[in-house]
C-alpha cells in the first residue's frame, strides 16, 4: 500500500454533502420541469474543450481564468475546462449543420474558473442555462423572461423582481449625450461603479479624475459638464411601471437614429409579458442593468430575490446575436439566460425556503437481533416494493440505541424494531422519531407545536406497509 495521502481538496473546490445535494437535486428537477413545459430540450457537452474554442484565437487575458488541461495527444494544442455553457452551445450550433432551428436547449452542468476563490466563490460551480438559438422574434426573449418568473415561482423563492434593460437602448446614451461611440465601453465601465462609488465620484471619473483614499490617481475620461448632465438625465429615468419607463425613454431619446427600433423591442416584450399576466411587480424596466455589455446585443435582464438582495443576481441573461459568429462567420441570433444553481440554493437555504434533510429514507429498520436478519430484510423489501423509501441498518453498531442515533443523525423519521418476543407475537414496534425532532425545534416564530401521535407503538407485523404509510401521511402532512 502507498504511503498515506492526506485527504483534501484543492483551493476553491467543494464537496456537496447529501443534505445540500438532495436540496440541489430537488431544485434542478423543478427547474427542469418548468423548462420542459416550455418545450426546451437538454444538451450535454464535454467539460474539456480546445482552448481556442473557449477563448477565441486572440487574447491572453481571456485565458487567465481557464483551467488548462494537458492534451494527451499533442502537448502543443492546449485544452481547457469550459468556463460557461454558452460558448460550448455556440460551438455545437456551428458544428452540427442539421440541428433543428430554432434550437431551444437547456443544460445543467458544472463550469470551472481559475479565478481567486472567496466566500461563496468557488472554482467549480453549477449553471443551469436556457437558450433559444436561431430566433429573432421578441417572443423568444419574452419566453426566457417568463420562464425565469415561472421558475422562481415554482421554486417558491418568495418575492423577486426581474429587471429588464436593453443594450440597444443603453447605446442610445452616446448620441444622446453627444459622446463618440468609441468611448462607450469606457463610459459604461465607469457607470458600472455607481452602486459602489456613488454619483459624485462617478462624475469626477467621467470628467477630471480624482485621487482616491490611498492616494492613487484615478484618471478621468475628460467629458464635458454638458455631457455629464445628459448622462445624469439618463440615469434619472426610473419608474415603478414599465409603461412609465417607456414613456420617459421615448421622450429622452426622441429623434435619435435607431431609437424607435431599440425602444420598440423593449416595448413589445413588455406588452407580451403584460398580456400573459407578468405584471410590473415581477418584471420591471430598469436601465441600470447592464450585464457584461461586451457580450449582449439586445434586451438583457437579471433577477434578484427581494428578501435576499445581498445574494445579487440569481438569474440573468439576454440576447446575444453575434456569439456564434466566432465559429460560423455569420450571426445566429440567440437569446438566453443562466441560473447560478449554487448561489440560488445558498440564498434559499439562507431564507429557510429549502429544508435541508440528510436522508432519502423514510424508515430505518433496526437490527435488534442478528438471528432475525432475514426477517428484517423481508420487511425492508416489502416496504420498498410498496414504494416506501427504506433503509435496513447495515452498519457495525450492535446496540439499537446507537442505531437510533444514526437514524437521528440522518433525519430518518421512522424506526422499526422487532425482537424475538415480538416476532412470536406477530408484532413490530414503531418509533416516531420525527415527533421528538419537531418537539425539540426552536419554537420562536413558529406556531405552537402539538401532536396527537404516540411516540412509540406496537402494530401487527401483517399490517406493516399500511401502518407505515398512515404514519408517513401524518408526519409529512
**Residue closer to a second copy, measured from CB, 39 or 215:** 39
Q: Does the protein bind a second copy through residue 294 (CB under 8 A)?
A: no
Residues 128-147, interacting with a second copy (CB under 8 A): 132, 134-137, 139-140, 142-143, 146
**Residue closer to a second copy, measured from CB, 137 or 288:** 137
311 touches 343 (CB < 8 A): yes
**Residue closer to a second copy, measured from CB, 123 or 282:** 123
Q: Does the protein bind a second copy through residue 52 (CB under 8 A)?
A: yes
C-alpha cell belonging to residue 65: 481564468
Task: Read off the DSSP letter of residue 4.
Answer: P
**Residue closer to a second copy, measured from CB, 226 or 394:** 394
291 touches 300 (CB < 8 A): yes
Q: Does the protein bind a second copy through residue 124 (CB under 8 A)?
A: yes
Q: Does the protein bind a second copy through residue 295 (CB under 8 A)?
A: no
Q: Which stretch binds a second copy (CB under 8 A): 192-200, 239-247, 318-326, 453-461?
A: 318-326
Q: Does the protein bind a second copy through residue 409 (CB under 8 A)?
A: yes
Residues 53-92, interacting with a second copy (CB under 8 A): 53, 56-59, 67-73, 79, 81, 90-92
Q: Does the protein bind a second copy through residue 5 (CB under 8 A)?
A: yes
Q: Which stretch binds a second copy (CB under 8 A): 43-51, 191-199, 285-293, 434-442?
A: 43-51
Q: Does the protein bind a second copy through residue 189 (CB under 8 A)?
A: no
Please state the length of the chain: 477
Look at the block and give the residue holding cell 429498520: 365
One residue of 390, 414, 422, 432 binding a second copy per CB under 8 A: 390
**CB neighbour list of residue 311: distance below 8 Å, 6 or more residues apart:** 304, 305, 343, 344, 346, 347, 350
Distances (CA, A) of 275 to 142, 271, 302, 372: 11, 6, 21, 65
C-alpha cell belonging to residue 443: 419554537
Q: Which stretch binds a second copy (CB under 8 A): 94-102, 255-263, 309-317, 462-470?
A: 94-102
Q: Which stretch binds a second copy (CB under 8 A): 153-161, 231-239, 269-277, 279-287?
A: 269-277
Tell me the CA end-to-end span of the chain in Å, nearest whole number. Answer: 52
**Residue closer to a second copy, measured from CB, 99 or 351:** 99
Q: Does the protein bind a second copy through residue 118 (CB under 8 A)?
A: no
Q: Does the protein bind a second copy through residue 391 (CB under 8 A)?
A: yes
163 touches 303 (CB < 8 A): yes
Distances (CA, A) of 308 to 64, 78, 314, 355: 31, 41, 10, 17
Q: Does the protein bind a second copy through residue 11 (CB under 8 A)?
A: yes
Q: Does the protein bind a second copy through residue 215 (CB under 8 A)?
A: no
One residue of 226, 275, 371, 476 binding a second copy per CB under 8 A: 275
Residue 257: burial class (beta carbons within 10 Å; 0-12, 13-18, 19+): exposed
Q: Which helix (H) or strand (E) holds 300?
A: strand 299-305
Tell me how far, at minimum, the Cβ of 63 lies from a second copy, in Å.
11
- The DSSP result for 88-153, as a single string, is HHHHHHHH-TTS-SSEEEEEEEEEE--SPPBTTB-SEEEEEEEEEES--SHHHHHHHHHHHHHHHH
**Residue closer to a second copy, measured from CB, 44 or 257:** 44
Tell me how far, at minimum, the Cβ of 249 lies from a second copy, in Å.
22
Total site size for a second copy, rule CB under 8 A = 116
Amino acid at each position: 500500500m502507498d504511503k498515506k495521502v492526506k485527504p483534501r481538496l484543492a483551493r476553491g473546490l467543494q464537496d456537496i454533502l447529501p443534505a445540500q445535494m438532495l436540496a440541489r437535486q430537488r431544485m434542478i428537477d423543478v427547474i427542469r420541469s418548468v423548462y420542459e413545459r416550455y418545450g426546451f430540450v437538454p444538451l450535454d457537452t464535454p467539460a474539456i474543450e480546445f482552448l481556442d474554442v473557449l477563448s477565441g484565437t486572440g487574447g491572453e487575458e481571456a485565458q487567465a481564468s481557464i483551467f488548462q488541461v494537458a492534451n494527451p495527444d499533442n502537448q502543443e494544442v492546449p485544452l481547457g475546462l469550459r468556463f460557461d455553457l454558452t460558448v460550448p452551445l455556440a460551438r455545437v450550433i456551428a458544428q452540427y449543420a442539421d440541428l433543428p432551428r430554432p434550437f431551444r436547449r437547456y443544460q445543467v452542468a458544472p463550469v470551472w474558473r481559475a479565478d481567486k476563490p472567496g466566500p461563496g466563490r468557488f472554482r467549480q460551480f453549477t449553471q443551469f442555462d436556457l437558450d433559444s438559438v436561431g430566433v429573432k422574434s421578441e417572443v423568444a426573449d419574452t419566453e426566457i423572461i417568463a420562464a425565469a418568473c415561472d421558475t422562481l415561482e415554482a421554486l417558491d423563492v418568495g418575492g423577486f423582481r426581474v429587471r429588464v434593460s436593453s443594450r440597444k437602448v443603453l447605446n442610445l446614451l452616446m448620441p444622446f449625450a453627444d459622446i463618440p461611440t468609441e468611448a462607450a465601453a469606457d463610459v459604461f465601465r465607469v457607470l458600472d461603479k455607481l452602486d459602489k462609488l456613488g454619483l459624485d465620484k462617478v462624475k469626477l471619473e467621467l470628467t477630471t479624475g480624482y485621487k482616491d483614499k490611498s492616494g492613487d490617481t484615478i484618471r478621468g475620461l475628460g467629458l464635458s459638464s454638458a455631457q455629464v448632465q445628459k448622462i445624469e438625465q439618463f440615469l434619472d429615468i426610473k419608474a415603478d411601471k414599465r409603461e412609465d419607463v417607456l414613456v420617459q425613454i421615448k421622450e429622452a431619446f426622441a429623434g435619435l437614429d435607431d431609437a424607435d427600433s431599440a425602444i420598440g423591442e423593449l416595448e413589445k416584450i413588455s406588452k407580451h409579458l403584460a398580456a400573459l399576466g407578468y405584471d410590473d411587480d415581477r418584471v420591471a424596466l430598469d436601465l441600470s442593468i447592464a450585464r457584461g455589455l461586451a457580450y449582449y446585443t439586445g434586451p438583457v435582464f437579471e433577477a434578484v430575490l427581494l428578501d435576499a438582495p445581498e445574494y445579487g443576481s440569481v438569474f440573468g441573461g439576454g440576447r446575444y446575436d453575434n456569439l456564434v459568429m466566432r465559429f460560423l462567420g455569420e450571426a445566429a441570433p440567440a437569446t438566453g439566460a443562466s441560473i447560478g444553481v449554487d448561489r440560488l440554493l445558498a440564498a434559499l437555504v439562507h431564507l429557510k425556503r429549502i429544508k435541508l434533510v440528510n436522508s432519502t429514507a423514510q424508515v430505518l429498520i433496526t437490527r435488534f437481533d442478528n438471528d432475525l436478519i432475514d426477517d428484517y430484510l423481508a420487511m425492508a423489501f416489502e416496504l420498498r416494493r410498496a414504494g416506501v423509501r427504506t433503509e435496513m441498518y447495515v452498519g457495525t453498531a450492535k446496540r439499537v440505541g446507537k442505531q437510533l442515533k444514526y437514524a437521528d443523525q440522518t433525519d430518518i423519521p421512522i424506526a422499526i424494531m422487532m425482537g424475538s418476543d415480538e416476532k412470536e407475537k406477530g408484532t413490530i414496534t414503531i418509533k416516531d422519531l420525527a415527533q421528538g425532532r419537531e418537539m425539540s425545534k426552536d419554537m420562536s416564530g413558529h406556531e405552537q407545536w402539538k401532536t396527537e401521535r404516540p411516540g412509540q407503538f406496537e402494530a401487527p407485523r401483517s399490517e406493516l406497509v399500511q401502518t407505515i404509510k398512515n404514519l408517513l401521511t401524518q408526519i409529512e402532512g
